[in-house]
Amino acid sequence: MFSGHLKLYKQGAFQHLGSDIRGRCCRTYFLQEINSCLCFNIHQSLQKEYFETYLSEVPNFPKFAGVGVLNGLEIGRCNPETGKSEPTQKWMNRVTEDDPKFWEWTTKFCILNMKAGKNEIEDMKRRFNQTEGVHIWQRMFGCDWDDDTDDINVYIQYARNGQDVISLDPITDTWVAAKSEAFITKLRWETDGETPRHKHNVQNHCMELLKNAVSYGEKTLKRTELPLVSLLQKSSSSPVTCHATGFYPDRARLFWTKDGDELLEDVGPGEILPNGDGTFQTSVSLDLSSVPLKNWDRHHCVFQVSGDKYKYVTRLDRSKIRTNGERGLVIVAAAVALFVIRRKRGQTGLCNLCHKYDHI
């Protein structure tokens, strides 16, 4: 899987898939309430991403889905039913103030990708010698922009069935093959001389839209929302799970400490995943089976925005732990169908059936 803080998701897009398929890309978490203390000092960088997903052998479901994401918030999509590109945030309608034909050319981009995807997913089947069953092919491209340092990072990645296949190393302008089947594509893309131009096009398009969109939706994108933190436990012998939900932006960590020191053993970190309202959730479990009850309160769950002095500290208070046996406890599964691709910074993956779009 792609790893790191970049996530591919399409809220509601995959709710009709069967549980066996949906299990590859969906997660559900519990939402509960507990009191915590906090201190913060916020800094934000910005990211613009575009994700495409192609499906094969999934009946009664669109073969293609495309979604644009800005700082974890969906801002536009390629509607597979109409073939048109459309905004998903009201303030994105203002993009035509700077580019009157924006939705026109993104619709052309949408149609081209839908047509190209059909051929590419068939090529993928042949290359991997798997012509039957469900196939998922994905492309992700975008950029990070630090508005303090003005540093820009561009990425282009491809995946097959949730695994890295090909991606760009933006430092060397070369492609890294994560699968042996993709090596031919790596050689072809590196010898055709198009990679630097392709990266340049992605960077220019991404940065232009990023800077404009931030001005349109500044109140939404530069807001800070603090998390609601819960302590959950299935049974008295189960690990204790710390769950944080409702926070924004999504660049954050959730971890356990003992006497102020971060714990690296007996912990189970979870994904950072989107809620349906534009905020995020995550969780981390802690195995306390070998810890005496009298020492539990030496542990704390800490939420922290990455790179910032932001702390949201919850003491492990046994009286605050919610369990499945409590009367009146409502366990709410986050009913959000997610498609998650995680990107590890500094690494790339490869896809031999991938298509490069010159007009990005």
DSSP state letters, 170-188: TTTTEEEESSGGGHHHHHH
Task: Give the residues across from 154 on adjacent strands.
Answer: 143
The predicted-structure confidence for 342-360, as pLDDT tens digits, reads as follows 333 333 332 222 233 222 2
pTM score: 0.61
Residue 90, number of CB atoms within 10 A of its CB: 10
8-state DSSP, 211? H
Identify the CATH assignment for 19-27+45-220 out of 3.40.50.720, 3.40.50.1980, 3.30.830.10, 3.30.500.10.
3.30.500.10
* Pairing assessment for the beta strands 228-233 and 252-258 based on DSSP bridges: unpaired
Q: Is 31 exposed, middle or buried (0-12, 13-18, 19+ CB in 10 A)?
A: middle
Buried b (16+ CB within 10 A) or exposed e, 56-82: bebeeebebbbbbbbbbbbbbbbebee
pLDDT reading at 242 higher than 60: yes
Rounded to 5 degrees, φ, ψ at 97 are -65, -35
pLDDT at position 45 is 61
State the CATH architecture for 228-323: Sandwich (2.60)
Pairwise CA distance, residues 148 & 142, whole Å: 19
Handedness of CA 264, 270, 272, 277 (dihedral sign): negative
| CB 52 within 8 Å of CB 65 | yes
Q: Per-domain residue ranges for the chain?
A: 19-27+45-220, 228-323
Beta strands in the chain (DSSP E): 37-39, 46-56, 64-70, 73-78, 85-87, 135-145, 152-160, 163-169, 174-177, 228-233, 240-247, 252-258, 261-262, 267-269, 273-274, 280-286, 299-305, 311-315, 322-323
The predicted-structure confidence for 93-144, as pLDDT tens digits, reads as follows 888 888 888 888 888 888 887 877 777 778 778 878 877 878 888 888 888 8
Q: What angle do CA 161, 162, 163 make, to 5 degrees?
A: 95
